[in-house]
Structure 1
Amino acid sequence: MLSITYLSSAVEQWSDDELEELLRHARGTNATVEVTGMLLYSGGNFIQTLEGPDEAVDAIMAKVEDDSRHQGVLVVRREEVADRLFSGWSMGFRRVSPGEAEEIPGFTDYLDTGTIEGADTRRHAVMTFHRVFRERIR
């Protein structure tokens, strides 16, 4: 199984509607090809980790690299993994206050803590990229 973490910048800021459309499309596509992962977006910048069958992850990355809405796509980590780090994650999007977020079923405080249940230290490089991203958006 392949895990890729990449960074990119949006050519223009994405609206909530554009992000929601991306998530709708990605949920359907990713489920059919057994790809999981997570995506963070802030201030026109993305960091995403994709994990799943090699061919499926590579195909998604090819689409990202060809997407004219992205620039500066940089793969910062590519590795074969035995286990998924984001196996139970389902993408969602909604702008909410911190208090409202805690009331959402499935809420995780990942953006504050960087903690993922079941994550081990061998995947520390990916976690470092996500931590740095979180710190920059504050």
Structure 2
Amino acid sequence: MRSDDPSGDPRILTLTYTSSVTDLLSVTQLVELIEQIRSKNERLGVTGLLLYSGGNVIQTLEGTSYAVYQVFDAIRADTRHGDVRLLDRRYVGDRSFGTWSMGFRNVSAREVADLQDFNEFARQSVGHDLVDHAASAFELLGTFRVNTA
């Protein structure tokens, strides 16, 4: 993976956001999109995990700040995403998803209903500023990292 950063900043930035797709994606469309994401992220040295369920996305991106913001800015400009909300942004010592150019999981409604962390995150986040609940979101991503590894 490439990790060139024009700023020369070697620190690892982790950024977690949520969004809603403007049109529901079929399984075929999801697979095609993830393949595009993986190849771009690999070139940029970005790793992470994306969860998709019923049109809702939660994703963590990791890499140099330059690379992460390049990807995040493209997501915010992408008309397929609506209501993009930044949950968490911080520098970390190590990547949580270092072996994945983009881990992916299409989460079923049943899995969402059964996942206590998600229920807590959803319950806390409805109608509130999601930044206050970034830890819950990151724990949710961590649960899926462990369960899909």
Between Structure 1 and Structure 2, the one with more helix by share is 2
**RMSD, aligned CA:** 3.0
Deviation of the 1:52 alpha carbon: 0.3
Deviations 1:2-39 (A, max 9, x none): 11000000111111121111111111111111100000
Contact 1:20-1:93 at 8 Å conserved across structures: no
Q: State how many pairs are aligned.
A: 109
Q: List, as ranges, runs of 4+ consecutive aligned residues in structure 1 with deviation greater than 2 Å.
A: 89-95, 111-114, 126-133
Give 1:48's aligned residue.
59
Q: Which runs of 5+ in 2 are unaligned?
A: 1-11, 107-113, 118-133, 145-149
Deviation of the 1:82 alpha carbon: 1.4
TM-score by length of 1: 0.68
For 1:32 and 1:25, the matched residues in 2 are separated by 11
Give 2:36's aligned residue.
25
Q: Which runs of 5+ in 1 are unaligned?
A: 96-110, 115-123, 134-138
For 1:20 and 1:13, the matched residues in 2 are separated by 13
For 2:103 and 2:139, the matched residues in 1 are separated by 22
Please point out which of 73, 79, 84 is paired with 2:95: 84
Aligned identity (percent) is: 42
For 1:89 and 1:54, the matched residues in 2 are separated by 18
